[in-house]
Amino acid sequence: MNQTLERLLDVRRRIATAAAEAGRPAGSVGLVAVSKTFDADAIRPVLEEGHRIFGENRVQEAQGKWPALRGKFPDIELHLIGPLQSNKAKDAVALFDVIETVDRDKIAVELAKEIGKKGKAPRLYVQVNTGLEEQKAGIGPRETAAFVERCRTVHGLAIEGLMCIPPFEDYPGPHFALLQKLAGECGLEKLSMGMSGDFEKAIPFGATSVRVGSAIFGSR
Ligand SMILES: *Cc1c(COP(=O)(O)O)cnc(C)c1O
């Protein structure tokens, strides 16, 4: 079997085990296969196996490979997991099914405008900078509830959940716990958290989707 597929099956087994250990129903944790930097030839076996949910961090890179793959696999669900510039909002709304990185009013305004024009709305997550890292995108934890409320009432956007990327050097548990608490305060049930190095730790804290790249596709 293709090595990528072996790793995909292993990741699925580990998700199922972590969910069972956390007392959560099988299938309550979705898997976003993060295919950034990998080309269509690397992705195709995963599509042929039946997996349909993928994540990309750059709009332009995604535009270069996904339209053709969609021609053959029309039910692909594509997530934008990287920072979004406002001049890319139009392309992002056109291409992605889920945008996980809404983190400021300027982006919310642009997304609302494009959604109105196209009559097509991606599902949206607010990215929270749980570690308050300067170089990282995301709204601060203290601003999250008010921002989610503004998305709803001022910008007219339906927010589905929250997303975070814990600081690389920290133990991730407290960050996952914080995201779970903030989601509760906002009345949100969807939590995108956990990557190759820590997805099993995110599951007891309620992750409803994990974003796994290198553990499936290999190192970048
Ligand atoms: C690259 C990336 C991932 C996947 O990272 P791995 O460590 O390769 O699993 C997940 N989330 C975001 C936001 C990313 O940019």
Q: Show Cβ contacts of residue 154 under 8 Å, excluding neighbours closer than 6 positions.
A: 105, 108
Amino acid letter, residue 22: A
- The structure's pTM equals 0.98
Ligand 1: nearest atom to the Cα of 57: 15
What's the gap in Å between 137 CA and the centre of ligand 1?
A: 14
CA of 36 to the centre of ligand 1 (A): 8
Confirm if 93 and 76 have CB atoms less than 8 A apart: no
The structure tokens 């600081």 sit at: 167
CA dist 17 to 61, 172, 212, Å?
Answer: 33, 19, 16
CA of 82 to the centre of ligand 1 (A): 9
> 38-87 pLDDT, tens per residue?
999 999 999 999 999 999 999 999 999 999 999 999 999 999 999 999 99
Tally of helices (H runs) and strands (E runs) in the chain: 9, 8
Q: Which residues sit with their C-beta closer than 6 Å to ligand 1?
A: 34, 36, 57, 81-82, 165, 195-197, 211-215
